[in-house]
C-alpha cells in the first residue's frame, strides 16, 4: 500500500500518515458560515481537501473514508442578514427568514463547489441540528472545572488547559500582550472564550441550563466532529477494537490557516478537556492538523476596498464585462500552487490554465472514465508526498505530450490520462463537453462550414481576402481557428465571446 505523508501543523513536520483504523479513515474540515456567496478564498480549502479526499479513497477504498464538512447556520452575520430582510418588509418570522437565507446560501455553495469539481463530503452537518450535543459538552466542561457560567454566558477557562497555544506556537501571556482580546465583566480571564451566550426575544435561541441562548462558534465543530467521527461510527459498529482504544480521536482535521487561531486552538482545548482521562490528564482530539495558506488576487490581499474581491460565482458567470471562467480552470489554477504556500490568483494564470486544459482534453478526447484502470503510479506517489500537485501536473502533461507524438497506442494513453487526472478532480468531461462548456453551448459548426466553403472558393479564385476577414473576426471573438487538409475546426478559446459572432 502506498504510504501517504502529510504536513502536520501540530508537529510542524511532514510525517507518515497512519490511520487509527484503515477501514474507517476519518477527516473533518471546517465548512462555511452560510450568510452569503462563497468568495474565492473560501474555495481554496474545498479544492485542497477534495484532492486529499480523493487520494484517501484511492488508497483505502471509497467505502472506508468518512469526510465531514459542516455548515455553520447559526451566527450573528446570518441573524443580521435575516433582520435586514425583515426590516425591508419580508414576510415570515425571524426564524423563517434565517432558515430561508441559510437554505438559499447552502444551495449556492453546493452549485459553486460542484462547478469546481469538488465531491460532496460523506456528511454535511448543520450546526443547528447538534445544539443538544453542544449543550451536553458544555455541561461536561463545567462539571470538570474547565468552564463556568455567569450572566447567561458560559466561558471556557483557557488557563485550565496547559497545552493551550501549542498548535499556533503561542503562549497565553504572549497572546494577551500582543492581541486585542475582549474584556467583559462576565470573564474571569481576558483569554477565556464563549461557549454559550444569551439570546433576547429578537434573536434565535434554544433553551439551556443557563437560559435561552445560542452556542459560541468554536463549540460547534467540537460537538459535530465528536458526534459524527466518534459516537456515530462507534454506535454503528464501524470502529475497530484498536480504534476504540483512542476515544474521541479521529485522523485529520483541516481548514484554512486563518482558522488556526483562535478557532482550531479553541477546538483543541475544549475537546481535549471534555475528553480528559479519569486522572485529569487531557484527552486527545485530531491526530493530524492540515492548514492551507491564504489566497491573494493579482499580488494583493483580496479586499472589497481594493476592488479585487470576487465570489466564485463572479468568476464562473463573468463580472465587470469579463467573460465567465470554467470551474475546471479555477480548480487548475488553485492546484498549481502547493496548499502550504500562499496562492496568487491572476487573470494570466487562468488563461494559461485554460490553454493547458485544451491540450489535455485534446489527448483524452471523448474517452469515458474507467475506474478499473490503475492511475499513473508516479502521479499517485506525488500526491502521496504531501499533495505535491506540481509533480502530479508534470505527469499529466507528460502523458499528453506522449499522446500527441504517438501514432499507435493512443487509446490506452488517453484512458490512463483520464483516470490519473480524476485523482486531481480534472478532465471530468469529454472533450466535446469541455469545448461546449467554454463556448457556453455555442455551435460553431455553421461558421466552420462557411470558412471551409470560402477557402475552397479561394483556392480557385486565388482571392483569400474573404477567408482572412472571417478568420480575423473569429479570432477577435476568442475562437481558435484550425485549418488543415482535413478541414476546418473552430474551438472556443480563452476570452471567447459569443456576442461577437453575431452577424458573421
Q: Which residues are annotated as a binding site for ATP?
A: 304
Q: 326: closest CA among 114, 110, 120?
A: 114
Alpha helices in 61-170 (DSSP H): 76-87, 94-115, 131-143
Q: Which residues of 362-372 are buried (b: 16+ CB within 10 A; e: fewer)?
A: bbbeebeeeee
* CB hemisphere CA count around 458 (13 angstroms): 14
Chain Cα centroid distance, residue 491: 30
How many Cβ atoms sit within 10 Å of the Cβ of residue 409? Answer: 10
| CA gap 226, 224 in Å, rounded | 5
Q: 220: closest CA among 135, 292, 146, 295?
A: 135
Cβ proximity of 223 and 130 under 8 Å: yes
∠ CA 160-164-168 to the nearest 5 degrees? 170
Give one word for 434, left, alpha or beta, with left for phi > 0 and alpha for psi -120 to 50: alpha
| CA gap 432, 362 in Å, rounded | 10
How many Cβ atoms sit within 10 Å of the Cβ of residue 252? Answer: 24
Peptide bond into 262 cis (omega under 30): yes
Pairing of strands 295-297, 343-345: parallel
| CA gap 351, 353 in Å, rounded | 5
| Secondary-structure breakdown of the chain: helix, strand, coil percentages, each rounded to the nearest 5 | 45, 15, 35
How many Cβ atoms sit within 10 Å of the Cβ of residue 77? Answer: 12
Q: Which residues are annotated as a binding site for Zn(2+)?
A: 30, 221, 263, 267
Beta bridge partners of 300: 297
Q: Which residues are annotated as a binding site?
A: 30, 221, 263, 267, 304
| CA gap 410, 406 in Å, rounded | 7
Rg (CA), the chain: 27
Cβ proximity of 214 and 199 under 8 Å: yes
Q: 7: closest CA among 254, 268, 295?
A: 254
| CA gap 67, 75 in Å, rounded | 23
Q: 286: closest CA among 297, 275, 296?
A: 275
| CA gap 312, 108 in Å, rounded | 10
| CA gap 270, 157 in Å, rounded | 9
Q: 176: closest CA among 164, 186, 163?
A: 164
Amino acid at each position: 500500500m502506498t504510504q501517504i505523508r502529510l504536513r502536520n501543523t501540530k508537529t510542524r513536520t511532514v510525517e507518515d500518515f497512519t490511520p487509527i483504523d484503515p477501514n474507517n479513515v476519518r477527516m473533518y474540515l471546517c465548512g462555511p458560515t452560510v450568510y452569503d456567496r462563497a468568495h474565492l478564498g473560501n474555495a481554496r480549502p474545498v479544492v485542497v481537501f477534495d484532492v486529499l479526499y480523493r487520494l484517501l479513497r484511492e488508497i483505502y477504498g471509497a467505502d472506508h473514508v468518512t469526510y465531514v464538512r459542516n455548515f455553520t447556520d447559526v451566527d450573528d452575520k446570518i441573524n443580521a442578514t435575516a433582520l435586514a430582510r425583515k426590516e425591508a418588509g419580508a414576510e415570515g418570522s425571524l426564524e423563517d427568514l434565517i432558515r430561508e437565507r441559510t437554505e438559499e446560501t447552502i444551495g449556492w455553495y453546493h452549485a459553486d463547489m460542484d462547478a469546481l469539481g469538488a465531491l460532496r463530503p460523506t456528511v454535511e452537518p448543520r450546526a443547528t441540528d447538534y445544539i443538544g450535543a453542544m449543550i451536553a459538552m458544555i455541561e461536561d466542561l463545567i462539571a470538570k472545572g474547565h468552564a463556568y457560567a455567569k450572566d447567561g454566558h458560559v466561558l471556557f477557562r483557557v488557563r485550565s488547559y496547559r497545552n493551550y497555544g501549542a498548535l499556533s506556537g503561542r503562549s497565553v501571556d504572549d497572546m494577551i500582550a500582543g492581541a486585542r482580546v475582549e474584556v467583559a465583566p462576565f470573564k474571569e480571564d481576558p483569554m477565556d472564550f464563549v461557549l454559550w451566550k444569551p439570546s433576547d426575544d429578537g434573536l434565535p435561541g434554544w433553551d439551556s441550563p443557563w437560559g435561552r441562548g445560542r452556542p459560541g462558534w468554536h463549540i460547534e465543530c467540537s460537538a459535530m466532529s465528536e458526534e459524527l467521527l466518534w459516537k456515530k461510527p462507534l454506535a454503528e459498529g464501524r470502529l475497530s477494537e484498536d480504534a476504540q482504544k483512542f476515544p474521541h480521536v479521529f485522523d485529520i482535521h483541516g481548514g484554512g490557516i486563518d482558522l488556526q487561531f483562535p478557532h482550531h486552538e479553541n477546538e483543541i482545548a475544549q475537546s481535549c478537556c471534555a475528553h480528559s482521562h479519569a486522572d485529569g490528564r487531557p484527552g486527545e482530539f485530531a491526530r493530524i492538523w492540515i492548514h492551507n495558506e491564504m489566497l491573494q488576487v493579482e499580488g494583493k490581499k483580496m479586499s472589497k476596498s481594493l476592488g479585487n474581491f470576487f465570489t466564485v460565482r463572479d468568476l464562473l458567470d463573468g463580472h465587470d464585462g469579463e467573460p465567465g471562467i470554467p470551474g475546471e480552470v479555477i480548480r487548475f489554477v488553485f492546484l498549481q500552487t502547493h496548499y502550504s504556500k500562499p496562492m496568487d490568483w491572476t487573470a494570466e494564470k487562468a488563461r494559461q490554465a485554460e490553454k493547458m486544459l485544451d491540450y489535455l482534453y485534446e489527448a483524452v478526447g471523448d474517452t469515458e472514465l474507467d475506474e478499473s484502470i490503475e492511475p499513473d503510479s508516479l502521479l499517485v506517489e506525488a500526491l502521496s508526498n504531501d499533495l505535491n500537485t506540481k509533480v502530479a501536473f508534470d505527469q499529466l502533461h507528460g502523458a499528453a505530450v506522449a499522446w500527441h507524438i504517438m501514432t499507435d497506442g493512443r487509446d490506452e494513453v488517453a484512458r490512463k490520462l483520464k483516470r490519473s487526472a480524476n485523482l486531481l478532480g480534472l478532465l471530468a468531461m469529454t472533450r466535446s463537453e469541455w469545448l461546449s462548456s467554454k463556448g457556453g453551448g455555442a455551435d460553431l459548426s455553421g461558421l466552420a462550414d462557411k470558412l471551409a466553403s470560402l477557402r475552397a472558393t479561394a483556392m480557385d479564385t486565388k482571392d483569400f481576402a474573404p477567408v482572412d476577414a472571417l478568420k480575423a473576426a473569429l479570432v477577435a471573438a476568442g475562437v481558435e481557428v484550425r485549418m488543415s487538409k482535413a478541414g476546418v475546426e473552430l474551438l472556443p478559446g480563452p476570452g471567447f465571446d459569443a456576442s461577437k459572432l453575431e452577424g458573421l
